[in-house]
Amino acid sequence: MRGFYFITDSSLSRVGNYGDVKSALKADVKVIQYRNKSPDTKLIFKEALLLRRLCKHAIFLVNDRIDITLAVNADGVHLGEKDLPYAVARKLLGKNKIIGLTVHNLKEARYAEKLGADYLGVSPIFSTRTKRDAGSPCGTALIKEIKRHLSIPIVAVGGINLSNAERVIHAGADCLSAISAVVTKADVKKEIEKFQKLF
């Protein structure tokens, strides 16, 4: 994993998730995470299916929802601390699906790697309003600390924009996500390409 990691957010998007994902793929994004907090499972399934078909040459992950991951045959799932435990997710998904775990400190990172997570979502790096329950920012120091002790890939998330992205990459992040910095702009592809050039 290396480069821009795209996470959908229909509440911030100008054109909707489908249009954003198309733009992200044109910007050579290799990992797409579909995040939708709607209680409407049928709606989520239909949209996930459309996005899955778009991602023929990219890794397609679903946030939180193992049922949707299985239903659309996504490449894997990203789980937070309030989602199903890793062991249960692995049993349901099998050994070949990707499972990423959100972590907020070195202890959680060590535990996630020990469990067998494929990558870590380290969050939030900086202060963010995109995710209300994101918690206190951990800064780039945590990325450096995890990289010093562990070999697992890191996706940096939270409050990242073009003014601080280089610091995140220099700290050791393999990927980064910047949701509001791209989906709120008129040309999503162009904005993502600015981040891609930093790697």
**Tens place of pLDDT per residue across the chain (199 aa):** 999 999 999 999 999 999 999 999 999 999 999 999 999 999 999 999 999 999 999 999 999 999 999 999 999 999 999 999 999 999 999 999 999 999 999 999 999 999 999 999 999 999 876 666 656 888 999 999 999 999 999 999 999 999 999 999 999 999 999 999 999 999 999 999 999 999 9
Taking domain 3-196, whether its CATH number is 3.30.465.10 is answered by no
Cα–Cα distance measured from residue 175 to residue 56, given in angstroms and rounded to the nearest whole number: 20
**Number of residues that this document lists for the chain:** 199
**CB-CB contact of 160 with 181 (8 Å):** yes
Structure tokens at 104: 């907020």
Q: Which two tokens stand for residue 42?
A: 């049928």
Q: 176, 169 in Cβ contact below 8 A?
A: yes
pTM: 0.95
Residue 46 CA, chain-centre distance (Å), reads 20
Alpha-carbon distances of 197 from 2, 90, 189, rounded to whole Å = 12, 34, 12
Domain boundaries, given as residue ranges, for the chain:
3-196
Dihedral, CA of residue 156, residue 169, residue 137 and residue 186, to nearest 10: -70
